[in-house]
Amino acid sequence: MPYTETTELVRALRQGDQQAFNRLVMLYQEKIYNLALGYVKQEDEAKDLAQDIFITVFRQLDKLRDDSSFAAWLYQIALNHCRNRYKKLSRRGFFKSQPVDDPESGFTLTSDSNPEIDLERQRTNHMVRQAITALPPAEKEIILLRDIQDLSYDEVSAILDIPIGTVKSKLNRARMSLKKRLTKLM
């Protein structure tokens, strides 16, 4: 992978520069928070989850083999934390008490248009969230990474440790499944 600002920050952190970690968090916190929010659907829980992810990253930095692959490594840790937290919360019945149309559940649309258009967008947004939530975990994960997080195929491939061709085929199946669910909701 090419030399990047992230690579430089990881190297600085390894040399004891604590501010480098703060800058890494600033670079990735929004993406990691949004990924967490896609799993847990509640802002406070997503914030706690994102914080736990960065604590783990800080503690396990010595396990990162290649400084230039930090982003993929970070997302792998994030996905593992998200999966584990989702399972834990599911066992407790957390999601049964969370309304799917909760405006704090992520993917919020805003616009400067008229209320009728806003209402239609909210309905569409609600249906998409509901359909994504109902997907099997592997399909939901690849949709979140590629379509919601807007990561490249290469990045998704590195994060999930699967070939790009497999990413594309799994994403296609996940999108088809999402389309079927959306068609049923409409």
Tell me which of 106, 135, 161 is where a domain ends: 106
What's the one-letter identity of residue 96?
Answer: K
- Could you give the 3-state DSSP secondary structure of residue 81? helix
135 and 159 fall within a common domain:
yes
What digits encode the pLDDT tens for the residues 66-114? 998 999 999 999 999 998 998 888 787 776 655 444 444 444 444 455 7
Neighbour-count burial of 13, counting CB atoms closer than 10 A to its CB (0-12 exposed, 13-18 middle, 19+ buried): buried
CB burial string 84-95: b at 16+ within 10 A, e below: ebbeebeeeebe
* Interatomic CA distance for residues 137 and 156, integer angstroms: 15
Q: Cβ of 117: how many Cβ atoms within 10 Å?
A: 11
- Indicate if 111 and 75 belong to the same structural domain: no
Domain end marker among 61, 78, 106: 106
Tokens of 109: 């649309």
Domain boundary among 75, 106, 137: 106
The predicted pLDDT at position 106 comes to: 43
The per-residue pLDDT for range 75-86, each reduced to its tens digit, is: 999 999 998 998
DSSP 4-66: -HHHHHHHHHHTT-HHHHHHHHHHHHHHHHHHHHHHH--HHHHHHHHHHHHHHHHHTGGG-S-
Per-residue pLDDT at 22: 94
Whether residues 123 and 162 fall in one domain = yes
* pLDDT attached to residue 95: 65
User: What integer pLDDT is reported at residue 74 of this predicted model?
Assistant: 95
Question: What parts of the chain have a pLDDT lower than 70?
Answer: 1-3, 95-113
- CATH number reported for the structural domain that contains residue 72 in this entry: 1.10.1740.10
- Residues 14, 86, single domain; the answer is yes
Q: Coil, helix or strand for 179?
A: helix
47's CB contacts (< 8 A; 6+ apart) are: 33, 36
Q: For the chain, how many structural domains are there in total?
A: 2
Q: Are 113 and 29 members of one domain?
A: no
**Residue 89 and residue 144 in one domain:** no
Residue 115 sits in which domain range? 107-186
pLDDT at 124: 81
Q: Residue 141 burial by CB count (10 A; 0-12/13-18/19+): exposed, middle or buried?
A: buried
Q: What is the per-residue pLDDT for 41? A: 82
